[in-house]
A and B are shown apart, each in its own frame.
Chain A
Amino acid sequence: MLYFILRRFGVMLLTALALTFIVFYLTNLPPNLEKLAKSEASARMTDEDVASWIEKNGYATPVLRRYGEWLGVMPGWTMLQEDGTTRGRCIAVGSDPAAAPRFCGLVQGTWGKSTVFKEPVQKILGRGLSQTAWLMLAVMLVMVPTSLLLGVLSGMREGSKLDRVLSTIAIASTATPEYVSGVILVALFASATAGLSPILADWGWISGKTLFQGTATSAMDDITFWNFALPVATIALYGIGYIARMTRASMTEVMTQQYIRTARLKGVAFRDVILRHALRNALIAPFTVIMLQFPWLLNGVVIVETLFNYKGFGWTLVQAAGNNDIELLLGCSVVAVLVVLVTQLMSDIGYVFLNPRIRLS
């Protein structure tokens, strides 16, 4: 078991290094650096000016070396300037060069500074992630019980009318990506001119103009059902169908097992068979699926936060990518890659614990 975890951990580390290097390479391509130079210094720079700016700010060294510096395993660059002062990656402007640390990178906790928000990357990411955590929590609370219930109900009697109806709902939900369901939900519930809101307002059932709010900006300070329901529903809707289908497949398989038949023949009530015998075994497979949904949710979060203007992690990623904010984008991708890899590891290990039939040695 320990060997298994260690090996998985090793592969994970290797993947993380490879992925961050790819992101680093792609964000530090020459055209991106040129753009950075122009946005940081002046938009009307000549090509020589750009080259010298890149040289002066330590971007001219080979990409592997720069990756090492960013990671914190290679000493940061230093440069003696014409006026006698030393500039360097780890030397803050106006501080004593001798007192500056030799290494400053990801490992040392220096994630760099965002060029768009003019703030340290960690601070922005921390703020964004805490906002997104609330969104994720709400999504999980809605998505997991709903999808498991749908899956168990439709898998319990395969081919029944209930199964047909619920399966069709599940298919329809997987066919609706977030940017489609978001648009439909807003048009239906949060538009003052179309959908249900004008009708309900006419009848006097709702006090405001719309049933729900079309933006979640106010939810950043104060989460209410009114401003948070639509974003959460949008993300959850896409995931529900997938998890429900997996649960259904797993449930139908369990229902054909001998021990279920034995329990039925013993005279145990159908409800007790489901609750006591089938459910536990049927929920092993969906567990893995739910864990692996996190990376997918990341996609949903980016789309929904952009659509509803909720300034969390996904919104930050879009801002960083759209504005060529290299350090912030690198920080975002570190977080994203970690989320993906850690959930993969957790789902693997959790699967082994949950399923006693898997022996590792």
Chain B
Amino acid sequence: MGEKLSWGMILLSMAQQFLPVWIALVATYLLSIRYKRRLGLYGKLFDSPVGMIGFGIVMFWVFTAIFADLIITHDPLGQLSGLKNAVPGSALKAPKEGDYLHYLLGGDHLARDVFSRMVMGARRVLAIAPAATAFAFMVGVTLGLPAGYFGGKLDTTLSFFANLVLAFPVILLFYLLVTPEIRVTGIPTYLAAVLFIFPVIFFCTLFNSRFFTNPPKRNLYVGVTLLIGLWAYSGLAFNADPLGVWSMDPNLLNVFVSVVFVNSPTVFRIVRGIVMDLKARDYVAAGQTRGEGPWYIMLWEILPNARGPLIVDFCLRIGYTTILLGTLGFFGLGVSPESPDWGSTIDDGRKLLSIFPHPALAPALALMSLVLGLNLLADGLREESLKD
């Protein structure tokens, strides 16, 4: 039986476990700073200290998610006897050959390793949050562009529906949408069927408006988009992929769809606002005089000019989505009860919070640092994109 570790030793051992992350981080920074003048907005990020710190924190968690298998010290679901609610640095009671000798951040109420669960949680969170945000952006952009550009009845109708969703208290919506019962009724699948088609529509319109004067090229691009898009669509929304490559766990689909559904009206409003501002510009009038179609102007003239605020909002929104996922986990509505995602772990840990704070504290600090990093990154990006 080993000794209990002191706090200094715990920190040192954790730093050692994160070794692959440190290497990857240093490599990223060296390469980025070396070539920063050629990297556009991304390169400029390295001129702003705030942006650099934010980017560092975000990349730390991204690399943690990637290398999670190398970093973890124990199976995140494995329970070892005698380590229930063990304090940080506790030694294993009966280590087997090849076992890591300590629970670095202690054990939770089921005697699982808090450190490994936190690291694996990063993978769960970073697999869902950016993807859900991207989908929300596809929906918001595809609907917000025409609403802002054409205005009129279309705008009134879409805005009404967006405001409807926004007026919903988020937690109530989650409680109604993310329940085991609702899966029986198929509502998540219908929602997914509507929401997941938007990326396909977006890319088809994008290529069609650009290349419709050149039919062979247009047919190639749109054809490939349709092929891959509808293939993924059939698998993700209906779980009916003939080849079985794309599929989504029904529970995960439920959570994913709800988060996209909650986020897209806000994106819609932002895009609509920007388009209404930009459509009065001279280059739009010039495009209209040249006889360009409305979708070409929206997608290839207005959208690239709106990228600054949209990129900034994308970063902020990943953070917000992370918070939403945590909220879901906190109310026990998360992906699955065993899942190591941060929200559920905080929920597990809060029952014994005032006696054993460490099982809840580790994921709480992890979540906070990731969101803080994303916020700082967005702040840096905003500062740098305003300098142009």
Binding site for B on A (CB under 8 A): 11, 14-15, 18-19, 22-23, 26-27, 29-32, 35, 171-172, 174-177, 179-180, 183-184, 186-187, 190-195, 210, 214, 295, 298-299, 302-303, 306-307, 317-318, 321-322, 329, 332-333, 336-337, 340-341, 344
A-B CB proximity, top 5 nearest: A187-B357, A31-B181, A321-B175, A175-B372, A175-B371
Majority secondary structure of chain A interface residues (helix, strand, loop or mixed): helix
CA distance A306 to B327 in the complex (A): 12
* A322 proximity list for chain B (CB < 8 A): 175
CB distance from B15 to the nearest CB of A (A): 22
- Would you call B326 an interface residue if the criterion is a C-beta within 8 Å of the partner chain's C-beta atoms? yes
B366 (CB) vs chain A CBs: closest residue:
A180
Q: Are A183 and B355 in contact, CB atoms less than 8 angstroms apart? A: no
- Would you call B367 an interface residue if the criterion is a C-beta within 8 Å of the partner chain's C-beta atoms? yes
* B331 proximity list for chain A (CB < 8 A): 306, 318
One of B22-30, B37-45, B162-170 contacting the partner: B162-170
Partner of B350 from the list A183, A317, A341 (CB cut-off 8 Å) is: A183
B169 (CB) vs chain A CBs: closest residue:
A336
CA distance A332 to B172 in the complex (A): 9
Given A187-B360, A303-B327, A317-B172, 19 further pairs, Cβ under 8 A: A15-B164, A22-B168, A177-B323, A177-B367, A179-B326, A179-B343, A183-B346, A183-B353, A184-B361, A184-B364, A186-B357, A299-B170, A302-B169, A303-B171, A306-B331, A307-B350, A322-B175, A329-B175, A333-B169
Q: How many B residues have CB within 8 A of the partner chain?
A: 45
Q: Are B375 and A174 in contact, CB atoms less than 8 angstroms apart? A: yes
B367 (CB) vs chain A CBs: closest residue:
A180
Q: Are B185 and A31 in contact, CB atoms less than 8 angstroms apart? A: yes
Q: Are B172 and A321 in contact, CB atoms less than 8 angstroms apart? A: yes
* A172 proximity list for chain B (CB < 8 A): 372
Partner of A340 from the list B169, B182, B346, B371 (CB cut-off 8 Å) is: B169
Q: Are A317 and B167 in contact, CB atoms less than 8 angstroms apart? A: no
CA distance A322 to B371 in the complex (A): 28
CB distance from B157 to the nearest CB of A (A): 12
- Would you call B184 an interface residue if the criterion is a C-beta within 8 Å of the partner chain's C-beta atoms? yes
* A35 proximity list for chain B (CB < 8 A): 181
Q: Are B350 and A299 in contact, CB atoms less than 8 angstroms apart? A: no
**21 A-B pairs in the complex with CB atoms less than 8 angstroms apart:** A23-B172, A32-B181, A171-B375, A175-B319, A175-B371, A175-B372, A175-B375, A179-B364, A180-B367, A191-B353, A191-B355, A192-B354, A192-B355, A195-B357, A299-B327, A317-B175, A321-B172, A333-B172, A337-B167, A340-B167, A341-B167
* A295 proximity list for chain B (CB < 8 A): 167, 169
Q: Are A186 and B326 in contact, CB atoms less than 8 angstroms apart? A: no
Partner of A23 from the list B171, B176, B346, B365 (CB cut-off 8 Å) is: B176
* A187 proximity list for chain B (CB < 8 A): 353, 357, 360-361
* B374 proximity list for chain A (CB < 8 A): 175
Query: Quick one: given A31-B182, A336-B169, A337-B167, are A179 and B327 in contact (CB under 8 Å)?
Result: yes
A209 (CB) vs chain B CBs: closest residue:
B354
Query: Quick one: given A23-B176, A29-B181, A191-B353, are A171 and B319 in contact (CB under 8 Å)?
Result: no
* B184 proximity list for chain A (CB < 8 A): 30-31
CB distance from A296 to the nearest CB of B (A): 9
* A186 proximity list for chain B (CB < 8 A): 353-354, 357
B360 (CB) vs chain A CBs: closest residue:
A183
Q: Are A180 and B364 in contact, CB atoms less than 8 angstroms apart? A: yes
Partner of A179 from the list B160, B176, B187, B346 (CB cut-off 8 Å) is: B346
Query: Quick one: given A183-B350, A306-B331, are A26 and B176 in contact (CB under 8 Å)?
Result: yes
Q: Are A27 and B357 in contact, CB atoms less than 8 angstroms apart? A: no
- Would you call B368 an interface residue if the criterion is a C-beta within 8 Å of the partner chain's C-beta atoms? yes
CB distance from A21 to the nearest CB of B (A): 11
* A191 proximity list for chain B (CB < 8 A): 353-355, 357
CA distance A192 to B354 in the complex (A): 7
For B169, B187, B327, B353, the residue with the greatest tally of chain A CB atoms inside 10 Å of its CB is B169
Query: Quick one: given A186-B353, A299-B171, A336-B169, are A180 and B185 in contact (CB under 8 Å)?
Result: no
Query: Quick one: given A29-B181, A336-B172, are A190 and B354 in contact (CB under 8 Å)?
Result: yes
* B367 proximity list for chain A (CB < 8 A): 177, 180
* A176 proximity list for chain B (CB < 8 A): 368, 371-372
